[in-house]
Structure 1
């Protein structure tokens, strides 16, 4: 009988040890899950900070771009530095092209920092490209855009090229209905 009691006590001790190990493993797993959740939360915060910093950098770059263009628009001698057009233009037309560049670049920046989606970008572009000088600017800078490949800016440039082709081929004077606005990726 004593042997039987020792065997039962041994089983009880083994069961208690097994339960203790299982409880310890559960505590360790819970702590590990907590640590992983904390790491994921921190990673999400860092990614959000990086996106915010990128938008801030783009906005700062846009501001600097506008300041440079403003100087060139105001000073014909500085504007000559930016004369990258495929054919000679008058100083007045150069100033207009520089302003057209500022308009387009502003839309591009708004899109890139997330202030508008691709659909809204398309609609704004469709509006500003109703102006013949803006279209003329676009065609005069075609070679510069051709050098942009594999970028978001190149993709948006092709979107504008396609839109202009559709506008030229349209059988309607209702330009605001020409072209199918793209969906955001």
Structure 2
């Protein structure tokens, strides 16, 4: 029995040392996790700070775009300057196309600043494309979209809308809101 007790006494310091090492490792992992979380938070703040001027610039650009379109919509003489559609358009049709452009551009900017996901953009465009004037506008501006850089956000969204419009026209259902597969983010 004396031998057994001495073995037990010999294991106690080893067990205590093992517990000490485990506690130290756990403390080190906790500190490391806290450091990583703090770095992640700081990185997110820096990314937001970098994105803020870009968002401000996009907001200014959208405001300027709307002001120019508004002037053209209100003035047939100015609207003639923007008549770059595939087919000749009457003054009334040109004004409608300009307004359709304003709606589309608003969605585009809204998506670019991160307030609208691709899926939400897809859904809103699906709704807009229910209007025959918006569909005509989309076809009338096909040539303009063809000049966009293929890897641009606007070209990518344009291809998505082209595909959605194709699906809507081929669909044999009255429930337009179920047509078209929402895109992957």
Residue 158 of structure 2 aligns to a residue in which SS? helix
What do residues 71-94 of structure 1 show as CA deviations (whole Å, max 9, x unaligned)? Answer: 000011110110000111100000
Tell me whether 1:64 sits opposite 2:64 in the alignment. Answer: yes
Q: Give the equivalent residue in structure 1 for 2:133.
A: 133
Q: Give the equivalent residue in structure 2 for 1:165.
A: 166
Residue 84 of structure 1 aligns to a residue in which SS? coil
Q: Give the number of equivalent residue pairs.
A: 149
Deviation beyond 4 Å, 4+ runs, structure 1:
38-45
Q: Which runs of 5+ in 2 are unaligned?
A: 1-34
TM-score of the two chains, using structure 2 as the length reference:
0.75
What do residues 30-83 of structure 1 show as CA deviations (whole Å, max 9, x unaligned)? Answer: xxxx9xxx9998765443211111111111110110000000000111101100
What's the CA shift for 1:183?
2.2
Higher Rg: 1
Q: Give the equivalent residue in structure 1 for 2:121.
A: 121
TM-score of the two chains, using structure 1 as the length reference:
0.75
RMSD between aligned residues:
1.9
Residue 182 of structure 1 aligns to a residue in which SS? coil
Tell me whether 1:174 sits opposite 2:166 in the alignment. Answer: no
Write the distance in 1 (CA, Å) between the matches of 2:127 and 2:39: 46
Write the distance in 1 (CA, Å) between the matches of 2:124 and 2:47: 30
Write the distance in 2 (CA, Å) between the matches of 1:126 and 1:39: 41
